[in-house]
Every structure is written in structure tokens, then in C-alpha cells.
Amino acid sequence: VCVAAPPHPLIHAAAVLCGADEVYRMGGAQAIAALAHGTESVAAVDVIVGPGNLYVQEAKVQLSDRVGIDGFAGPSDLCVAVSPGVDLEPLALDLLAQSEHGDDSPVVAVSEDAALLDALAARLDADRHRGIRVLVHAADLETVLAFLEGFAAEHLQLAGADVEVLAPRIRTAGLLLVGEHSGTAFGDYVAGSNHTLPTDGRGRFASGLSARHFRRRMAEVRIDGDAADALARAAVPIAEAEGFPAHAASMAARMRENQSS
């Protein structure tokens, strides 16, 4: 396990706690290139994961035919679905916290209740909120759900009376945070979910970083004579229909009547 990061005592301490084998004092797209190709002083690796700026992400994508990657990450986003019966102050702080990731980080609030959105907007204005802010007033709960599933937020918080109605129906969020106390910052640091999540709507087809990114599967096939005979009788016509006579012949040769002994 290798870590590539600019020198910082906290990063070094974290690497030791995590059992890293090597720590390289480097960063940026050049670090991705070094890890993927290898250099005189950096051993080539099989998988590269983790966040980074736009250049780091692009380098990972361009080298994804050489090494495994977790996906393209960024800019980070947060969507909060708000319904009555919730304290808006912590939610406003959640949105503000998300904007700390950068001016290009979208923060979105959606609700059936226009008054809730107005009150939330007032709190964001008071906090001198930066970044991309979108408030969505939905006609009804089904419209809220349709928006959430289409937006496929990296972080999706559900807060208020409608939480238990919405939560079981969410399928596309990178991380689903249920209840007004489940702030996004907990997910970033200590809740147990991974901080590297699909962004920009990629939750429709991708998942957050997990152990599966460091594992691979291999199929193993063992066919005895009886099974080969039965399978060939089923598969030979398919190969012939596809126009692959050698495929068909290789299987037909294993039929009992075609075997020499």
C-alpha cells in the first residue's frame, strides 16, 4: 500500500496508523503518472484511488487503461431534502460546510414547502455562502423523489417529517444520510462511510470507494466428459448461427460420437 501526498505530519501519522508500506512526497498529475508507469524510485502500482484536483482526476482517467481507478471525483456536491419539523440552522451549516470544498461545489435544497426554502436561503445569505446554490420548490413528494433520483447527489441528506417515506425509495445517491442529525461532515470524517464518492450524477451507475476496488474476480471452469457432450449439443448451433465455425468445431469435437477414443 503506497501513499502519495505532499509532506505533512498528520498525513504521515495517518499513513502509519493505516499500515502503509511506502509514502512518497509527491502530488498532482505527475504523482499519478509515476505510480501508474513506475520510475527509478517509485514502484508501479495496480490500483490508484483517492481524491485530488481536476488535473489529478484527469490523469487517473487517462491512465485507467493501465491501472484500476475508483472513478472520476469532483466537484463535490450535497443535496438536502427538507420537510417540516426540522431545525434549519444545522442544515444551513451542512450546506455551508459542503461549500468549503470549493466555489464549484453545488449545494442544493429541495422541498415542497416554499417557506422552509426561504428560511434556509436567509440563513445561507447570513453566512456569506459561496459556491453554487440551488433551491428547488417541488409540487409534491413524488416530484421531490423524481428530482433526487435524477440529480443522483454525491451526498444526499433527508431531514424532516418525510424522511422515512423517502429513504427506502432512494437508489442513486452516493451516500444517503437519514435524519436531521446525520450531517454530511460526519460522513466525511467518522460515520464509517467512505469519503470518496461518485459525483456529478455518477451515482446512477457507480458506487463509493470500498474494498471491492482492491479485489478482482476470476472465473474457473472445469467440465467433465458428460457435461462437455451436453453443453456442446446446446452451444454448437449458437456458434454456427453466429458464423464462428471453429468455435462450433472445437465444441463438437468433444461430443461422444466425435471422440476418437
Point out the residues that are catalytic: 154-155
- Kindly state the cell numbers that stand for 108: 442544493
Could you tell me whether strands 78-82 and 68-69 are parallel, antiparallel, or unpaired per DSSP bridges? Answer: unpaired
Is 70 strand, coil or helix?
A: coil
In contact, 35 and 44? CB cutoff 8 Å: yes
Instruction: Please report which helix (H) or strand (E) contains residue 15, including its range.
Output: helix 9-17
Instruction: Name every residue whose Cβ is closer than 8 Å to that of residue 261 and which is 6 or more positions away in sequence.
Output: none
Residue 9 to residue 165: CA distance in whole angstroms: 45
Residue 110 Rama label (left phi>0; alpha psi -120 to 50; beta): beta
Instruction: Please report which helix (H) or strand (E) contains residue 94, including its range.
Output: helix 88-99
**Burial profile 220-229: b = 16 or more Cβ within 10 angstroms, e = fewer:** eeeeeeeebb
Residue 6 to residue 8: CA distance in whole angstroms: 6
- CA proximity to 135, closest of 116, 169, 115, 110: 110
